[in-house]
Amino acid sequence: MIPTTPDEALAELRAGNQRFVTGVPQHPNQDAGRRAAVADGQHPFAVIVGCSDSRLAAEIIFDQGLGDLFVVRTAGHTAGPEVLGSVEYAVTVLGTPLVVVLGHDSCGAVQAAREAVRTGSAPAGHLGAVVDAVSPSLLRAAREGVEDLDGIVDVHIAQIVETLLARSTVLAERVAGGACTVVGMSYRLSGGEVRTVAQSPDPLPAPAAPVDPALAG
């Protein structure tokens, strides 16, 4: 069944990641039948705004197949105009109910940006654009007293979730209307699991435990 709501989409991604982590992937939707079925149209249930790192292949780590994920990847999972346009295409034209910002530990792009800021030297060529896109997260991490690389990655993931919503009016409207959720996740290279570090709208808090009448007095 194709997930059609943000909650269903998130549950399917988490289930797929769990299959991958535990070594029992199903490799769904990867055969000739699926290829033929989606040739005339796509209805991906999640957009992945992920880092380009070669170890972060979305369909593999979430155990999905053809037509399931709409994937936009840049080094350091940035949120420039082409990325925003791609996200907006998926959520408006394709009706995708979930956007995931996907970072990971030991991110080379975040590391390179940190080095560039620390040494005050601009990297050569277009690599400077990656550094510029990550720099606001470095400043935020510094303000928040976060110094370790993986902590900075978490800040950057949360920053990109907020940036997508701040820069894309149409995405913010979809989220406000309940049609779409934006989640920031961090992937661990060695274990393969994803961890949620940011979510908009905030997930509902766990319901309070019922009061025991015998104790209520």
Contact partners, residue 23, CB within 8 Å, separation at least 6: none
| Shortest Å, Cβ 101 to Zn ion | 12
Bridge partners, residue 86, by sequence:
none
Smaller CB separation from Zn ion, 104 or 174: 104
| Shortest Å, Cβ 114 to Zn ion | 12
Bridge partners, residue 198, by sequence:
184
| Shortest Å, Cβ 104 to Zn ion | 6
Smaller CB separation from Zn ion, 49 or 51: 51
* DSSP conformation class of 45: S
| Shortest Å, Cβ 200 to Zn ion | 22
| Shortest Å, Cβ 91 to Zn ion | 24
Residues of each annotated binding site for Zn(2+): 51, 53, 104, 107
Smaller CB separation from Zn ion, 113 or 171: 113
Smaller CB separation from Zn ion, 51 or 133: 51
Smaller CB separation from Zn ion, 51 or 175: 51
Contact partners, residue 65, CB within 8 Å, separation at least 6: 27, 28, 29, 30, 34, 59
- Tokens standing for residue 58: 């979305």
Residue pair 201/181 in contact by the 8 Å Cβ criterion: yes
**Which residues contact Zn ion by CB under 5 A?**
51, 53, 107, 109
Residue pair 62/13 in contact by the 8 Å Cβ criterion: yes
Report the number of secondary-structure helices (H) and strands (E) in the chain: 9, 5
**d(C-alpha 166, C-alpha 200), whole Å:** 12
| Shortest Å, Cβ 173 to Zn ion | 30
Burial label for 124, CB within 10 Å (0-12, 13-18, 19+), is exposed
Smaller CB separation from Zn ion, 66 or 131: 131
- Tokens standing for residue 81: 């105009």
